[in-house]
Chain A
């Protein structure tokens, strides 16, 4: 399974943008980049995904490097409700399975 590397934790101030980095140097051409987050005492929640181009949705933006070896999840204005563990995952598109391999993720703390 392709691996991702994320910082263990990050801290942000409320109402400020947050950039969560992820390195995935072994990504293959057909792997999707997924981001999930897990709020305390809840199941993981889908945030965003992309393949090659940058993506925006109502929750966040995903910026993907041109060589696809890294990506950044951007929360445009962090709120206290964004405090969670954020997981960057490569979804491999080989065989069947749609499997996701979760790493340790980044703990995001938001200060008021």
Chain B
């Protein structure tokens, strides 16, 4: 199906483990984004990418790693998960021109025990 998907939708892990959240979009959008949403903080940008092999830090990048070898995929890795990374993670994509409208995935709820 066309659109933007995230997997898994729910994940429980333990402190210190590596976790990778997947994001896939079918529109061939140039830009992709990762946000986290916590109660009391709203949505905060973690990393974004302007194209394959081009990534840049957002507001809260510490503890996260991203890669973008293909335009349609933008995985987010927590190399050593911490309890403070318990959150809901949203991926988004947008085209390269015009108004920059972003289209969001359904989110991944991550719990770090």
Interface of A toward B, CB cutoff 8 Å: 32, 34, 36, 42-46, 49, 51, 91, 93, 96-105
Contact = CB atoms under 8 A, between A and B. Distances in A.
18 contacts: A34-B99, A36-B102, A42-B107, A44-B90, A46-B101, A51-B99, A91-B99, A91-B100, A93-B100, A97-B31, A97-B48, A97-B50, A98-B48, A98-B100, A99-B33, A100-B45, A103-B42, A105-B42
User: How would you classify the secondary structure of chain B's contact residues: helix, strand, loop or mixed?
Assistant: strand
A99 B58 contact: yes
B100 A46 contact: no
B103 interface: yes
A102 B42 CA distance: 7
Contact of A43 (B48, B50, B104): B104
